Chains A and B, each alone.
Chain A
């Protein structure tokens, strides 16, 4: 039973345009959400997070939006750069737990 779903295995975007990566979850007990970026042959790198008490969090070119009623979050990258080409993982945590549940990832390709 996959509790965190990234339904798009891959996404291609032109440099300078917006990249939107989506994530859906099924467990209403999740209260903290994170995005990680992973380059080949490296470990995942923490990118940005959001608590369930917020609906938006911004950090430079990266913004995460949370829609609790739809159990949906998205990561917006504006403007997209070739260096953003990587696999992006969505993750979620239940209140009081210290485990993360990860999605299967979306491979973003930013075309120069």
Chain B
């Protein structure tokens, strides 16, 4: 398995609070992605990065921001969490922008 870790693995928070999820890779891959998985929706892209400090929006980016200051770390921030952001969040990495390899996921519950 590709060296990808996500932290925290589980989080419970309250509506209106900021939340930051971290993705860390040891593979030195250029591309990193954040997805959310919800029942009936499959995997939907939130944001992605194609290099340090180079990021772009995905399909469901509203309410989320990202930052990548180092190759190995990609942070996803919910500025003010809402109940609709309760989901399972997956980070993925890719060396060439083709096949992606996924982390173990973070389960987020917003009360």
Residues of A within 8 A of B (CB): 32, 34, 36, 41-46, 49, 89, 91, 93, 97-100, 102-105
Q: Which residues of B contact A91 (CB under 8 A)?
A: 43
Chain B residues near A34: list those with CB within 8 A. 99
Residue-by-residue, is B1-14 near A (CB-CB < 8 Å gives 1, otherwise 0)?
10010000000000
Q: Is B94 an interface residue (CB 8 A)?
A: yes
| Shortest Cβ distance from residue B86 to the other chain A in the assembled complex, whole angstroms | 16
Interface size on B, residues (CB 8 A): 25
Binds A, one of B63-71, B72-80, B101-109: B101-109
Q: Once the chains are docked, how many angstroms separate the CA of A104 from the CA of B41?
A: 5
B-side residues, CB < 8 A to A, are 1, 4, 31, 33, 40-45, 48, 50, 58, 90, 94, 96-105
List 20 A–B pairs whose Cβ atoms lie within 8 Å, in order of A's numbering: A32-B98, A42-B104, A42-B105, A43-B103, A43-B104, A43-B105, A45-B102, A46-B101, A93-B98, A97-B97, A98-B48, A98-B50, A98-B97, A99-B33, A99-B48, A100-B45, A102-B43, A103-B42, A104-B41, A105-B42
Query: Are B100 and A46 closer than 8 Å at their CB atoms?
Result: yes
Q: How far is the CB of B51 from chain A (nearest CB, A)?
A: 11
Q: Report yes or no: B99 in contact with A46, Cβ–Cβ below 8 A.
A: yes
- Contacts A43-B90, A104-B41 aside, 9 further interface pairs with beta carbons under 8 A come to A42-B104, A42-B105, A43-B102, A43-B105, A44-B102, A49-B98, A93-B98, A98-B96, A104-B42
Contacts of A42 in B (CB 8 A): 104-105
Q: Which 7 A-B pairs have the closest CB atoms?
A: A98-B97, A43-B102, A104-B42, A102-B43, A44-B102, A102-B42, A43-B104
With both chains docked as a complex, state the minimum distance between the C-beta of B107 and any C-beta of chain A, in angstroms: 8
